[in-house]
């Protein structure tokens, strides 16, 4: 598999075609179906949303276009086809207009398709890279990002550092639409295009010291305001 490492960013590597396009298409369809279930469960009840404080380092808080510390979420329970109940925290708006986020903690709360189609391969990847022994049982965290069309653009995600509770590594799997990822430390900013099917892994210094963001992108000619134009899946583990 094509791998790219970044010598000036310790702990970061990119696999540009981790998933084939047909696999990505299936993941997008499954993710969008889950998004519709989340939206139906919340039902626009902004008054019932809880407040979450997302701690960010001072160097992120002082930057322009950064993630604010206070976000709002609903606790949602969903029933999977296997009839098991999974729970997550769903943020209808996270960071910027047009970005929704769902956070699933622990293995028992992973959606069926993620546990079946994502976790085994990613577990093998982190074991092959030496992060964990091959037979070590891991506790997984999943973040699903849904980006809408807003003012003619596909929404982005402002500069932030993933909170420690998300896991010792951050693995971003881009399954819909190429996007420009930026990672920065001080004045040094590196652009990393993420094609469909790419997996970007952040560990060590790149995970905890460098901040990162996803830039808004030109929206396709088709589709209307509010349509989901991009999905990404992010896995971490403890």
Structure token digits, residue 78 = 């969903």
Task: Give the sign of the dihedral formed by CA 208, CA 209, CA 211, CA 212.
Answer: negative
Tell me the backbone φ, ψ of residue 165, rounded to 5 degrees: -65, -15
pLDDT digits (tens, 9 = 90+) for 186-229: 889 999 999 999 999 999 999 999 999 999 998 887 766 678 99
Domain 3-237 has CATH 2.60.120.620: yes
pLDDT digits (tens, 9 = 90+) for 59-88: 766 565 566 657 888 999 999 988 999 999
For the chain, what are the domain ranges? Answer: 3-237
Q: How far apart are CA 159 and CA 182, in angstroms?
A: 9
Structure token digits, residue 59 = 């160097």
pLDDT digits (tens, 9 = 90+) for 115-143: 999 999 999 999 998 999 999 999 999 99
pTM for the whole thing? 0.91
Q: Can you name the residues that pair with 3 across neighbouring β-strands?
A: 15
233: three-class secondary structure by DSSP = strand
């Amino acid at each position: 598999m094509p791998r790219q490492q970044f010598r000036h960013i310790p702990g970061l590597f990119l696999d540009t075609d981790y998933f084939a396009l047909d696999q990505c298409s299936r993941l997008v369809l499954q993710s969008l179906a889950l998004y519709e279930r989340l939206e139906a469960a919340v039902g626009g009840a902004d008054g019932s949303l809880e407040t979450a404080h997302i701690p960010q380092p001072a160097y992120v808080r002082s930057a322009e276009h950064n993630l604010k510390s206070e976000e709002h979420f609903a606790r949602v329970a969903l029933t999977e086809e296997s009839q098991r109940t999974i729970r997550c925290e769903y943020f209808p708006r996270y960071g910027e207009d047009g970005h929704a986020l769902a956070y699933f903690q622990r293995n028992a709360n992973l959606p069926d398709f993620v546990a079946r189609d994502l976790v085994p391969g990613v577990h093998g990847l982190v074991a092959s890279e030496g992060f964990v022994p091959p037979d070590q049982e891991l506790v997984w965290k999943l973040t699903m990002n849904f980006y809408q069309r807003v003012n003619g653009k596909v929404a982005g995600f402002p500069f932030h550092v993933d909170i420690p509770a998300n896991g010792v590594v951050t693995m971003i799997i881009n399954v819909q639409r190429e996007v420009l990822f930026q990672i920065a430390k001080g004045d040094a900013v590196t652009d990393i295009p993420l094609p469909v099917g790419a997996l970007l892994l952040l560990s060590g210094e790149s995970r905890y010291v460098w901040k990162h963001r996803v830039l808004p992108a030109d929206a396709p000619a088709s589709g209307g305001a509010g349509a989901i134009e991009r999905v990404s899946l992010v896995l971490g583990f403890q």
